[in-house]
Amino acid sequence: MACFLSFTVFTLFFTHFSIFFNTINGVFIEEVVEDIAIKRDDKMTHLHFYFHDIVGGKNPSVVRIAGPPDSFIGNFGNTMMADDLLTEGPKPTSKLVGKAQGLYAMAAQNDMALLMVMNFVFLEVSIMECISILGRNAVLNDQREMPIVGGNGFFRFARGYALAHTISADFSTGDAIVEYNVYNRWAAGPSKRSFGTTMMADDPLTEGPEASSKLVGRAQGIYALASQHDIGLLVVMNFAFLKGIYNGSALSILGRNPILDRVREMPIVGGSGVFRYARGYALAKTVQFNQKTGNAVVEYNVSVLHF
Ligand SMILES: *[C@@H]1O[C@H](CO)[C@@H](O)[C@H](O)[C@H]1NC(C)=O
Ligand SMILES: *[C@@H]1O[C@H](CO)[C@@H](O)[C@H](O)[C@H]1NC(C)=O
């Protein structure tokens, strides 16, 4: 029997013209009104990462944009623009999780206290999300607290605080590695009303990411908001193929798709035609997302065993 078993791996792109996200956005707007009034769907997130501020050397991540002439970096008035790496661990080579982009300025005459105006952009979610910090950073203190004053995307209406703790500082160059713990309260996730929202889709599957790319099939089926606490979809779909030896064959997917994760895995539970008795998995990654229209292009790698 085993000799009839074949293993097929292919990549395809799923172009998703969706009103689904519009629906969610619409609900988000309503939800906010509700949240302000009742404060019930608020959620708390905790983010932990390390911030690398490289002031000296050949590849600094900051540039001085204003300040008194002939001054040291720590002098009152000096203002720096930073594009600093945020990593998972304390080493600069550790996994990149985002960037800290914005400015900090020496805002105290008799102290080492910075005015921080920064956005932390995170890469770990499929849609780029950022949170905004505006606060005072007394860098010589062991622990500093700064307010999170807002955010976008999933962090829209974020409110919270960041705790910063310097792990290492080189006083000759000014380079520093700072540990951040960020606690964030934000009104997110589907409300009780959007929970259960169910859509029928008939989306094109193409060879490449462009809409004009060669059509190889269609994704036909249902996706539904099946989680009350995050944006996790129940996906029940068939990928019906239209080209070459796969023409007329289909694969069936039944799985969970937490769309804000960078890569999602869903089981292939069956198939027809050349994919009879198929078993496998699909890896999905959002490569394009338009927040206004809700249209998305999703890359799929599908690996299946079949007879
Ligand atoms: C796929 O199969 C259908 C039905 O058998 C046929 O009409 C169509 O021309 C085929 N398409 C290709 C590209 O082979
Ligand atoms: C699919 O495979 C390609 C090539 O191996 C890889 O570059 C891409 O990141 C993969 N995408 C997903 C969603 O697994």
Fold classified for 2-28+191-306: AOC barrel-like (2.40.480)
Q: Which atom of ligand 2 approaches the CA of 11 most closely?
A: 1
Mutational pocket test of ligand 2: of 11, 261, 300, the residue with most ligand atoms within 8 Å of the beta carbon: 11
C-alpha 241/C-alpha 243 separation (Å) is 6
Ligand 2 and 265: CB distance under 6 A: no
Query: How far does residue 301's CA lie from ligand 2's centre (Å)?
Result: 6
Q: Where are the beta strands (DSSP E) in 159-214?
A: 159-169, 176-187, 198-206
User: Tokens representing 200?
Assistant: 């029928």
User: Consecutive 10-residue runs of the chain (307 residues): their mean pLDDT?
Assistant: 52 54 27 31 74 92 92 88 94 91 94 94 69 94 94 77 94 90 67 72 90 90 84 91 91 91 92 91 86 78 85
State the distance from the centre of ligand 2 to the C-alpha of 221, rounded, in angstroms. Answer: 24
Which of left, alpha, beta for 142 (phi over 0: left; psi -120 to 50: alpha)? alpha
Q: What is the pLDDT of residue 280?
A: 92
Q: Would you give the end-to-end CA distance of the chain in angstroms?
A: 9
For the stretch 9-24, what's the b/e string if a residue is b when 16 or more beta carbons lie within 10 angstroms of its beta carbon? eeebbbbbebebbebb
Rounded CA-CA distance 191/257 in Å is: 18
pLDDT at residue 45, as a whole number = 73
Q: What residue spans define the domains of the chain? A: 2-28+191-306, 42-187
Q: What is the pLDDT of residue 27?
A: 25
- CATH of segment(s) 42-187: 2.40.480.10
pLDDT for residue 97: 87
- CATH fold match for the domains 2-28+191-306 and 42-187: yes
Number of H helices, E strands in the chain: 1, 17
Alpha-carbon distances, residue 283 vs 32, 213, 217, 263 (angstroms) = 33, 20, 17, 6
Give the number of the atom of ligand 1 that is nearest the alpha carbon of residue 247. 1
